[in-house]
Structure 1
Amino acid sequence: MITTDLDVADPGPGSAAAQAGQPRILLIIPCYNEEASIGDVLTQIARTGRRYHTLVVDDGSTDATAAVASERSPVARLPQNLGIGGAVQAGIKYAARNAYDFCIQIDGDGQHDPREIDALLDAYQRQSANIIIGSRFIDNAGFRSTRLRRLGSRLIGLTLNNLFAGSRITDPTSGMRLLDRHAIAFFARRYPVDFPEPISLAWAMRAGLRISEAPVEMRARETGVSSIDGLKTVNYMIRVLGYILLARLARQS
Structure 2
Amino acid sequence: MPKIIVIVPAYNEEKTIDSVIYNIKKNKDVDILVVNDGSSDKTSLIAKNNGVIVIDLPFNLGIGGCMQTGYKYAYKNGYDIAIQIDADGQHDARFIDELIKPILNDEADLVIGSRYVAKTNYRGSYLRRTGSRFFTFLLKILTGYAIYDSTSGFRAANRKVIKYFSESYPQDYPEVEVIAKLSKMGFRMREIPVEMHERLGGQSSINFKRSIYYMVKVTLAILVNCMSRKEHQKA
Identify whether the pair has TM-score above 0.5, normalized to the shorter chain.
yes
**CA drift at 1:238:** 2.2
Which of 114, 119, 133 aligns to 2:112? It is 133
**CA drift at 1:55:** 0.2
**CA drift at 1:144:** 3.5
**What residue is the counterpart of 2:91 in the other structure?**
112
Paired with 2:216 and 2:136, the residues of 1 have a C-alpha distance of: 13
**What residue is the counterpart of 2:22 in the other structure?**
43
**What residue is the counterpart of 1:224 in the other structure?**
202
Which residue identity does 2:173 align to in structure 1? F
**CA drift at 1:123:** 3.3
Which residue identity does 1:65 align to in structure 2? T
CA contact (8 A) 1:168 1:212 kept: no
Report Cα offsets for 1:75-95 as digits up to 9, x if no partner.
Answer: 000011100000001000001
**What residue is the counterpart of 1:58 in the other structure?**
36
Say if 2:134 is the partner of 1:152.
Answer: no
Say if 2:157 is the partner of 1:179.
Answer: yes
**CA drift at 1:127:** 6.1
Which of 80, 87, 101 aligns to 2:80? It is 101
Paired with 2:12 and 2:117, the residues of 1 have a C-alpha distance of: 31
Identity %: 42
CA contact (8 A) 1:39 1:69 kept: yes
**What residue is the counterpart of 1:31 in the other structure?**
10
Distance 1:88-1:232 versus aligned 2 partners, 3 A rule:
same
**CA drift at 1:126:** 5.0
Paired with 1:84 and 1:205, the residues of 2 have a C-alpha distance of: 21
Which of 209, 212, 215 aligns to 1:237? It is 215
TM-score (ref. length: structure 2): 0.94
How many residues end up aligned between the 2 structures? 230
Which residue identity does 1:122 align to in structure 2? K
- Mind listing any 5+ residue stretches in structure 1 that lack a counterpart? 1-21
**What residue is the counterpart of 1:203 in the other structure?**
181
Distance 1:230-1:236 versus aligned 2 partners, 3 A rule:
same
Paired with 2:36 and 2:194, the residues of 1 have a C-alpha distance of: 25
Paired with 1:176 and 1:144, the residues of 2 have a C-alpha distance of: 16
**What residue is the counterpart of 1:81 in the other structure?**
60
**What residue is the counterpart of 2:172 in the other structure?**
194
TM-score (ref. length: structure 1): 0.88
**CA drift at 1:133:** 0.4
Say if 2:47 is the partner of 1:69.
Answer: yes
- Mind listing any 5+ residue stretches in structure 2 that lack a counterpart? none
**CA drift at 1:188:** 0.7
SS at match of 2:49: coil
Paired with 1:152 and 1:146, the residues of 2 have a C-alpha distance of: 10
**CA drift at 1:121:** 1.6
SS at match of 2:55: strand
Which residue identity does 2:40 align to in structure 1? T
Say if 2:230 is the partner of 1:252.
Answer: yes
Distance 1:84-1:179 versus aligned 2 partners, 3 A rule:
same
